[in-house]
Amino acid sequence: MSTTLDRPVASDDAVVLTVDERPLRRRLGPGPRRRFAGAVGPLLLLAAWALGSWSGFLDPQTLSAPWTVLETAKHLIDEGRLQTNLEMSAKRAMLGLLLGVSVGVVLALLAGLSRLGEAVIDGPVQIKRAIPALAIIPLLILWLGIGEEMKVITIALGVFVPIYLQTHAGLRAIESKYVELAQTVDLSRWEFLRRVVIPGTLPHFLLGLRFAVTAAWLALVVVEQVNATSGIGYMMELARQYGQTDVILVGLVVYGLLGLVSDTAVRLLQRKALAWQTTMAG
């Protein structure tokens, strides 16, 4: 921080300082964005895991070493088990995500664009919000059995709530002046949706999509351990019965990578879709 005096200071004069705020702002702020900064935490965790295994601090029966997990993953890939189960898990997650997002968006539009729709829809959705989707599994099993329909709908129930909440909040956040402008220029219903509603709710919807993707993977972990015959969760449950810690860790790593990749994809979509916000913000 640099300081200068505006004039010679007498004993009874106030000192007037001119502060260059830029270095101060640089020190107090988060600093420039670093490439691959998000990999630091996982790499440190991996290093601690490897060090604990190498030193004998971690019991292999409790937590297998990273190199053992890699060997197990290679063995599962060679057998084709990992690819088959991964394909099934991804299919369930994508179907549940697609269904949940569609339902959430439709309900949010009905509730956000109509007072009657809000009165009918918002209350039941808020009740559903207080009930975890996983708590409904016993009822869904009674209704649908233990097949794929139950698993997909369970995932969708976990997905549609964050989509609805964020999209509905985005609709309510649209400023009234834009609605009045649309009425003034006599926009049609479709043009109003395309020019006002979609741009106004897109940031909130994409934020809800990030929460929804996480909810989809969380629900998938559970439903695949409920009388499933395929999927990463089924592979982990089978390994639990035989005490195969290394296979369980392979499944956890796969779930973690799926969650990381999907969240990164949504963040890239946010950056592309909302580039106009960055441009207007300078």
Better pLDDT: 21 or 161 = 161
What band does 37 get if pLDDT is binned at 50, 70 and 90? low
Q: Confirm if 67 and 195 have CB atoms less than 8 A apart.
A: no
β strands within the chain, DSSP E? none
pLDDT(100) > 50 = yes
- Amino acid (1-letter code) at residue 182: A
**Residue 17: how many CA atoms within 13 Å on its side-chain side?**
6
Confidence (pLDDT) at 282: 42
Residue 17 pairs in a beta bridge with 5
What the chain holds in terms of domains, given with CATH numbers, is: 67-271 (1.10.3720.10)
Amino acid at 167: T
Reduced to 3 states, what is the DSSP secondary structure of residue 241? helix
For the chain, first and last CA: distance in Å?
Answer: 26
Residue 159 has pLDDT above 50, yes or no: yes
| 7 has a pLDDT exceeding 70 | no
- Confidence (pLDDT) at 224: 87
- pLDDT tens for 43-58 read 888 889 889 888 888 8
Higher pLDDT, 7 or 60: 60
pLDDT at residue 42, as a whole number: 78
> How far apart (Å, rounded) are the C-alpha atoms in residues 97 and 216?
6
Q: For residue 277, what are the contacts with CB-CB under 8 A and spacing of at least 6?
A: 203
Contact at 8 Å (CB) between 82 and 249? Answer: no
pLDDT at 33: 64
**pLDDT band for position 164 (cuts 50, 70, 90):** very high
Whether the per-residue pLDDT at 30 is higher than 80: the answer is no
Per the structure block, which two tokens stand in for 201?
């709710």
| Opening angle at CA 244, ends 239 and 247, nearest 5 | 70
What pLDDT score does 242 carry? Answer: 86
List the beta bridge partners of residue 5. Answer: 17
Percentage of the chain lying above the pLDDT 90 cut? 37
Give pLDDT tens digits for 112-148. Answer: 888 898 899 999 999 988 888 778 888 998 998 888 8
Structure tokens at 241: 């019965």
Look at 259 and 36; give whichever has higher pLDDT: 259
> Which pLDDT belongs to residue 274?
76
Rounded distance, CA 251 to CA 69, Å?
10
- Per-residue pLDDT band for 102 (boundaries 50, 70, 90) equals very high
Distance separating alpha carbons of residues 114 and 111, to the nearest angstrom:
6
C-alpha angle 221-212-108 in degrees, rounded to nearest 5 = 140
Distances from the Cα of 14 to the Cαs of 19, 21, 29, 118, 171, in angstroms? 16, 21, 30, 61, 53
- What is the rounded CA–CA span in Å between residue 140 and residue 115? 31
Distance of CA 45 to the CA centre of its chain: 21
Burial of 203 (0-12, 13-18, 19+ CB in 10 A): middle
Residue 16 predicted with pLDDT over 70: no
